[in-house]
Amino acid sequence: MAAAQMTAAQAGVPKAGKPKRQWTRASAAWSAFKHDKSAIVSITMLVIIVIACLIAPLLPIDPNATDVAHRLAGPSAQHIFGTDQLGRDYFVRTLYGGRVSLLVGLLAMLTSLVIGIVVGTVAGLVGGFVDGLLMRIVDILSSVPWLVLVTVVSVFLKPGLTSIILVIGLFSWMEIARLVRTETQAIKGRDFVQYAQLCGVSRTKVIMRHVIPSALPTIITASTTSLASAIMTESSLSFLGVGVQQPMSSWGSMLQDSQAYMQNDILMAIIPGLLIVIVIFAFNKLGNVMRVFADPQVMSGERD
Amino acid sequence: MAKYIARRLLIAIPLLLVITIIVFLLIHAAPYDAIDAMTNPKMSQETIDAIRARYGYDKPVWVQYFAWLGGILQGNFGYSIVSKTSISEQLAVRIPNTILLVLPSYLVAYVLAIVLGLVAGSHRGGKADHVIDGIASVLIAVPSFWLAMLLIFVFGYLLRWLPIVGMQTVGDGSFVDVLRHYILPFVTLTIAFLPDNLRYVRSSTITQITQDYVVVQQAFGAKRSEIMFRHVCRNVLGPILTRLGMALPMLVTGAIITETIFSWPGVGPYFMTAIKGMDYPVIMSILILSSALVILGNLLADVLNALADPRIRQGVIA
């Protein structure tokens, strides 16, 4: 019986022709990427930055080794980005800061992705009162200034990396929920989903097997933008001193520290900021390229 | 029209009440309260109870809620736990300072966004579009605090042209002095507000230009400028007006980061100090104020929308 249901559900998926469509979409996205110089440059830089941050622990320099005699030093062969106020190597510190920034961004994005997908599919599939209620919550949350919400909630949580990730994730899922809801509503009416429901396939299975795979391109696209804004939020919070706490540092908190030494060592203020700009710009560009993949209307020039 | 507004108001009021209940419960759930700030461990339990009774903290939660709500309706937000000063008095000084900064910079950014967005959108793929869209996508990636730091470095430290802290030099309250303090935070905020609206105007212009009615107009030989100003502009500006209404909460919380960096005596530094000092009454007052503005802003947006689009008034479309 169970096996029969499965095949029925699978048979409902129009298999023929699908891989080919995906392929043309992918090549459209690839050609959109190839013709966008700023996308090529920024995404290449992003890849280099991410790899450098990942391999930072393999470098033979200790990010916490102080050298007070050479504090606030300019770039040299020994310290390519110079040193900070305690004589610590700024290059390695930047890479370690990047690890924190990227990690917080990634996990916060995943948190908001999970909440957004759950709320979006439930609202889209169930409809009616539940849909109305969930969308009202989405409306309210997305209109209250995020900085106020995030800081208010962070007061009630113990400071730490987990809280920052949770706080950012808890207040950034609304856009994804909206997108997934629209996709779900469109999918709900399609023959293969109705057929699967008719065959008695459980709701969870319908969601996992049909709704989420169909919404996947949209979800992936939204997640790159969400990642960019999570990194921005984290850096603003850390800059204001309510984000990442000592001894850990992120690009945002490094910028906060650098404020006091700006007159002597402007490089300390420029490098982490520039990295934030490059990373966010690149993730946004990546999102744009992926939109060509997710939404054929973009490719045909009907939307931008 | 009046009926439409009245209906919207009726929806807004219960929403506001729900928000006050949530905020009150948050204050109530906080690890310590205003009484802990007024007392110290050396006091006897009787004294503490007496203080508690005097401020009404011994009453049931719902009585406390209504007392608190009554206070807020009369414009009394209570007292800061840390500095013991009246929150309403502080806000009455700080909100005008914030508005002074946010309103002009938002309006300048708004007008710039509309003009540049229309130019870019109507010349899609052209040189102007490339430049404008390029600048917007870079600016969207620039954290406003970093921009402020760079401005401080260049104009404050390097060139020494402009002051970088506060709203006026002590002992010098002249207009020119305030203006000099005004420039850097104003520029930072204008640039911070610009890219979002700009991209919005650009993409809705592009959407409008590919609509059938534009093709029909072209087919009938209408001039490009005629199509732009008579038809496209009108359709683009409707949703933009809505965004103006939604921006209402910005008047209080739109410049928290910028104000903090430049020590501008507005709501921003007040809020950040309260956050760091766990000053719940202050935090919650600002939360209530901005939620109320969010709801009012949505109301304003709906009304503006209804004014711009008769179909909404008549209930043809939602």
Q: Which residue segment(s) compose the domain that A207 sits in?
A: 25-57+80-299
Check whether A99 has a pLDDT greater than 80: yes
For B257, which of A240, A259, A301 is closest by C-beta distance? A240
Q: Inter-chain contact B140–A147, Cβ cutoff 8 Å?
A: no
Specify the amino acid at residue A103: L
Q: Which of A7-11, A44-48, A292-296, B283-287 is the most confident on average?
A: A44-48
B116 touches chain A (CB under 8 A): no
Searching chain B, which residue's CA lies closest to the CA of residue A298?
B207
Check whether A32 has a pLDDT greater than 80: no
Interface of A with B (CB under 8 A): 38, 139-140, 143-145, 147-148, 151-152, 154-156, 228, 232, 235-236, 239-242, 252, 255, 258-259, 262-263, 266, 269-270, 273, 276-278, 280-281, 284-285, 301-304
Are A53 and A47 in contact, with CB atoms under 8 Å apart?
Answer: no
What pLDDT sits at residue A100? 94
Read off the CATH number of the domain in which A193 is found.
1.10.3720.10
Please provide the average confidence, as pLDDT, over all residues in chain B: 84
Searching chain A, which residue's CA lies closest to the CA of residue B158?
A263
Q: Inter-chain contact A285–B290, Cβ cutoff 8 Å?
A: no
* Position A5 in a domain: no
What contacts 24+ positions apart, CB below 8 Å, involve A45-53?
A45/A278, A45/A282, A46/A278, A46/A279, A46/A282, A46/A283, A46/A286, A49/A98, A49/A275, A49/A278, A49/A279, A50/A102, A52/A95, A52/A98, A53/A95, A53/A96, A53/A98, A53/A99, A53/A102
What pLDDT sits at residue B257? 92
Q: Inter-chain contact A143–B253, Cβ cutoff 8 Å?
A: no
| DSSP structural state of residue B232 | I
The continuous run of DSSP H or E covering B213 comes out as helix B212-219
Q: Inter-chain contact B143–A302, Cβ cutoff 8 Å?
A: no
Q: What pTM value is reported for the model?
A: 0.84
B contact residues 178-207, partner A, Cβ 8 Å cutoff: 202-203, 206-207
What pLDDT sits at residue A2? 42
B205: nearest Cα among B240, B165, B173, B249:
B240
What pLDDT sits at residue A44? 92
* Position A63 in a domain: no
Residues of chain B with pLDDT under 50: 318
Q: Inter-chain contact A151–B275, Cβ cutoff 8 Å?
A: yes
Check whether A198 has a pLDDT greater than 90: no
Q: Inter-chain contact B276–A241, Cβ cutoff 8 Å?
A: yes
Structure tokens at A45: 């830089």
Mutate which of B146, B209, B251 to disrupt the A interface (most A C-beta within 10 Å)? B146
Smallest CA–CA separation between A134 and chain B, in Å?
15
- Least confidently predicted of A17-31, A69-83, A218-232, A258-272: A17-31
Smallest CA–CA separation between A144 and chain B, in Å?
6
For B207, which of A269, A273, A303 is closest by C-beta distance? A303
ipTM of the complex: 0.83
User: Higher-confidence residue: B148 or A3?
Assistant: B148
SS (H, E, C) chain A: CHHHHHHHHHHCCCCCCHHHHHHHHHHHHHHHHHCCHHHHHHHHHHHHHHHHHHHHHHCCCCCCCCCHHHCCCCCCCCCCCCECCCCCEHHHHHHHHHHHHHHHHHHHHHHHHHHHHHHHHHHHHHCHHHHHHHHHHHHHHHHCCHHHHHHHHHHHCCCCHHHHHHHHHHCCCHHHHHHHHHHHHHHHCCHHHHHHHHCCCCHHHHHHHHHHHHHHHHHHHHHHHHHHHHHHHHHHHHHHCCCCCCCCCCHHHHHHHHHHHCCCCCHHHHHHHHHHHHHHHHHHHHHHHHHHHHCHHHHCCCCC
State pLDDT tens for residues A34-58.
888 888 899 999 999 999 999 988 8
Residues in contact with A196: Cβ distance below 8 Å, sequence separation at least 6, in sequence order: A8, A9, A12, A205, A206, A209, A210
Q: Inter-chain contact B141–A148, Cβ cutoff 8 Å?
A: no
Find residue B169's DSSP bridge partners.
B172
What pLDDT sits at residue A13? 44
* Position A62 in a domain: no
B120 touches chain A (CB under 8 A): no
Check whether A15 has a pLDDT greater than 50: no
What pLDDT sits at residue A12? 42
Q: Which of A32-36, A59-63, A166-170 is the most confident on average?
A: A166-170
Smallest CA–CA separation between B130 and chain A, in Å?
11
Which residues in chain B touch residue A232, judged by CB atoms under 8 angstroms apart? 143
B234: nearest Cα among B222, B226, B246, B243:
B226
Q: Inter-chain contact A144–B150, Cβ cutoff 8 Å?
A: no
B275 touches chain A (CB under 8 A): yes
Average pLDDT over residues A269-275: 93
B141 touches chain A (CB under 8 A): yes
B315 backbone φψ class: left, alpha, beta (φ>0; ψ -120 to 50):
left
* Position A15 in a domain: no
Percent of chain A with pLDDT over 90: 28
Specify the amino acid at residue A43: I
Percent of chain A with pLDDT over 70: 89
Smallest CA–CA separation between B175 and chain A, in Å?
29
Check whether A144 has a pLDDT greater than 80: no
Average pLDDT over residues A209-238: 88
Confidence class for position A160, pLDDT limits 50, 70, 90:
confident
Check whether A303 has a pLDDT greater than 70: no
Q: Inter-chain contact A228–B15, Cβ cutoff 8 Å?
A: no
* Position A150 in a domain: yes
Residues in contact with B87: Cβ distance below 8 Å, sequence separation at least 6, in sequence order: B77, B78, B79, B80, B281, B282, B285
Check whether A17 has a pLDDT greater than 60: no
Under DSSP, is residue B79 helix (H, G, I), strand (E, B) or coil? strand
Which residues in chain A touch residue B29, judged by CB atoms under 8 angstroms apart? 156
For B283, which of A140, A155, A236 is closest by C-beta distance? A155
Specify the amino acid at residue A147: L
* Position A40 in a domain: yes
Average pLDDT over residues A241-248: 83
For B275, which of A38, A242, A255 is closest by C-beta distance? A242
Total tally of structural domains belonging to chain A: 1
Q: Inter-chain contact B150–A277, Cβ cutoff 8 Å?
A: no
Please provide the average confidence, as pLDDT, over all residues in chain A: 82
B30 touches chain A (CB under 8 A): yes
Average pLDDT over residues A13-35: 64
What pLDDT sits at residue B34? 61
* Position A8 in a domain: no
Chain centroid to Cα A47, Å, comes to: 15
What pLDDT sits at residue A74? 76
What pLDDT sits at residue A27? 79
Confidence class for position A151, pLDDT limits 50, 70, 90:
confident
Confidence class for position A11, pLDDT limits 50, 70, 90:
very low
The continuous run of DSSP H or E covering B176 comes out as helix B175-209
* Position A199 in a domain: yes
Check whether A299 has a pLDDT greater than 50: yes
Structure tokens at A216: 């996947």
B152 touches chain A (CB under 8 A): yes
Searching chain A, which residue's CA lies closest to the CA of residue B252?
A145
